[in-house]
């Protein structure tokens, strides 16, 4: 089946979570026999067209548009010309505020369609998006709701992301996932692992030093809770000479946190790497004894209003690599990470609670090492069964078959 996948706000392939999402969905659908044509955003010096081979699947064709996100809709005439040549059987679009070209084309040409929703469509009062929409006489909400009505089905991790006016039966709640082939502890190159450990200044755990490492990977945004992790680390390090903290990624909070770590004289124990290419992430994560996802929803009103609707890629990737995970005691995170089975939970926004959870999971000695190993194995087994991109796309494929079959009747 030929699928036109419109992701106009995303630069893909790339290292951002959205780029990973688009690439993984396209790849897994191609392995199921679908022909994927992906429309995405182009950055300076990138080619306008890219063909990406997929092992075990059909090649993915990428078509890149050089436009700012807020002007993406003016690419509609270009999309019409492309789609008229491709003649897709189904249109899938990744929603964002000023998107909609894919849904509009599908509506006008009577094609089956799926709308992917990754964030809250209608933000609560007090947010910038809500204020802008009020100034625009609620035209953003009107346009988003119209796209939802046009879509044949809506795919989202949590139904509360979608306006209440949309019938619940149209919404399919599907968690995102991890690439369990790429994030596989058995496929990590020991030589690359050793070299990277040396470059980062991490002692070997087997050398008698007993280094134990907690890792965070992701965007340094205010609600990701990296500041809470740094504060917990600052409290723990003086009590244990063998604890190290590896912070992977970049974002708005990176420089303030880097300055804080430097001022505390902890640069050799709290290591900030900056942005890491996604294909290198498994090697970096393999250096750790546990993963940390210290989200702080108090700093992000949409998450408070609609519940934790982000499907946490970092947690799924920690689990796939066999890492026990420390995260906040908040649904659905406390249903993904079950205490004592895949990791440990802590009280949201509380550095003392996080420090206690990390102290528990990173305790020295062979018994604690065995416990980490047990929880890591449980985590990998669970993510492979329930939270992989392959599992996500099998469910997505069922929706695709249902929509196309409905059209042919």
Work out the percent of the chain whose per-residue pLDDT is above 90: 74
Rounded-to-integer distance, Cα 51 and Cα 63, Å = 9
Please give the pLDDT value at position 205: 66
Q: H/E element holding 247?
A: strand 243-248
* pTM for the predicted model, two decimal places: 0.90
pLDDT confidence bin for 408, thresholds 50/70/90 = low
Q: Which residue has the higher pLDDT, 373 or 310?
A: 373
The crossing angle, in degrees rounded to 10, of helices 101-108 and 139-150 is 50
Q: Is the pLDDT of residue 222 over 60?
A: yes
**pLDDT mean over 301-311:** 84
Q: What are the φ and ψ backbone dihedral angles of 67, each rounded to 5 degrees?
A: -145, 145
Please give the pLDDT value at position 206: 53
**pLDDT mean over 202-215:** 76
Q: Which residue has the higher pLDDT, 380 or 132?
A: 380
**pLDDT mean over 19-37:** 96
pLDDT in tens, 51-88: 999 999 999 999 999 887 777 788 999 999 999 999 99
Minimum mean pLDDT range among 42-46, 179-183, 213-217: 42-46
| Three-state secondary structure call for residue 173 | strand
Q: Which residue has the higher pLDDT, 71 or 241?
A: 241
Minimum mean pLDDT range among 32-41, 91-100, 316-325, 345-354: 91-100
Q: Which residue has the higher pLDDT, 309 or 27?
A: 27
pLDDT in tens, 348-404: 999 999 999 999 999 999 899 999 999 999 999 999 999 999 999 999 999 999 999
pLDDT confidence bin for 43, thresholds 50/70/90 = confident
Q: Is the pLDDT of residue 306 over 90?
A: no
**pLDDT mean over 13-17:** 78
Please give the pLDDT value at position 207: 44
Please, what are the domains in the chain? 2-177+388-408 (3.40.50.2000), 185-386 (3.40.50.2000)
Per-chain mean pLDDT for the chain:
92
> 223 near 252, Cβ under 8 Å?
no
pLDDT confidence bin for 97, thresholds 50/70/90 = confident
Which residues, including other chains, have CB under 8 Å from residue 79's CB and lie 6 or more apart?
6, 39, 101, 102, 105
Q: Is the pLDDT of residue 204 over 80?
A: no
pLDDT in tens, 251-298: 899 999 999 999 999 999 999 999 898 899 999 999 999 999 999 998
> 375 near 134, Cβ under 8 Å?
no
> 18 near 9, Cβ under 8 Å?
yes
Torsion of CA 383, 385, 389, 391, to 10 degrees: -160
Please give the pLDDT value at position 318: 97
């Amino acid at each position: 089946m030929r699928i036109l996948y419109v992701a106009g706000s995303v630069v893909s392939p790339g290292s951002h979570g959205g780029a990973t999402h688009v690439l993984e969905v396209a790849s897994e659908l191609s392995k199921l026999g679908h022909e994927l044509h992906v429309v995405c955003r182009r950055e300076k010096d990138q080619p306008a067209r890219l063909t990406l081979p997929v092992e075990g699947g059909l090649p993915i064709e990428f078509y890149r548009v050089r436009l700012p996100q807020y002007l993406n809709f003016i690419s509609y005439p270009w999309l019409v010309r492309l789609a008229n040549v491709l003649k897709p059987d189904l249109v899938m679009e990744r929603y964002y505020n000023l998107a909609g070209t894919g849904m509009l084309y599908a509506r006008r040409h009577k094609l089956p369609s799926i709308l992917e929703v990754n964030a809250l469509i209608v933000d609560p009062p007090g947010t910038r998006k809500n204020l802008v929409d009020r100034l625009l006489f609620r035209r953003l909400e009107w346009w988003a709701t119209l796209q939802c009505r046009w879509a044949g089905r809506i795919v989202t991790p949590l139904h509360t992301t979608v306006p209440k006016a949309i019938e619940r039966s149209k919404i399919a709640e599907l968690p995102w996932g991890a690439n369990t082939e790429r994030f596989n502890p058995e496929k990590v190159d020991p030589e690359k692992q050793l070299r990277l450990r040396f470059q980062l200044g991490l002692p070997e755990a087997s050398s008698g030093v007993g280094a134990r490492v907690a890792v965070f990977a992701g965007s340094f945004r205010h609600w990701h809770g990296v500041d809470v992790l740094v504060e917990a680390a600052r409290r723990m390090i003086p009590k244990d000479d063998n604890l190290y903290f590896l912070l992977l990624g970049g974002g708005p909070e990176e420089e303030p946190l880097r300055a804080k770590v430097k001022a505390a004289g902890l640069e050799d124990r709290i290591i900030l790497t900056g942005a890491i290419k996604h294909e290198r992430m498994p090697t970096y994560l393999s250096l750790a004894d546990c993963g940390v996802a210290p989200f702080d929803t108090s700093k992000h009103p949409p998450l408070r209003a609609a519940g934790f609707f982000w499907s946490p890629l970092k947690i799924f990737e920690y689990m796939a690599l066999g890492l026990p995970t420390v995260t906040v005691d908040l649904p659905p995170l406390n249903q993904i990470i079950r205490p004592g089975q895949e990791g440990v939970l802590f009280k949201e926004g509380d550095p003392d609670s996080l420090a206690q959870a990390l102290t528990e999971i990173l305790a020295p000695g062979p018994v604690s090492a065995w416990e980490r190993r047990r929880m890591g194995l449980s985590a990998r087994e669970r993510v492979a069964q329930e939270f992989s991109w392959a599992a996500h796309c099998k469910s997505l494929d069922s929706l695709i078959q249902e929509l196309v079959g409905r059209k042919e009747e």
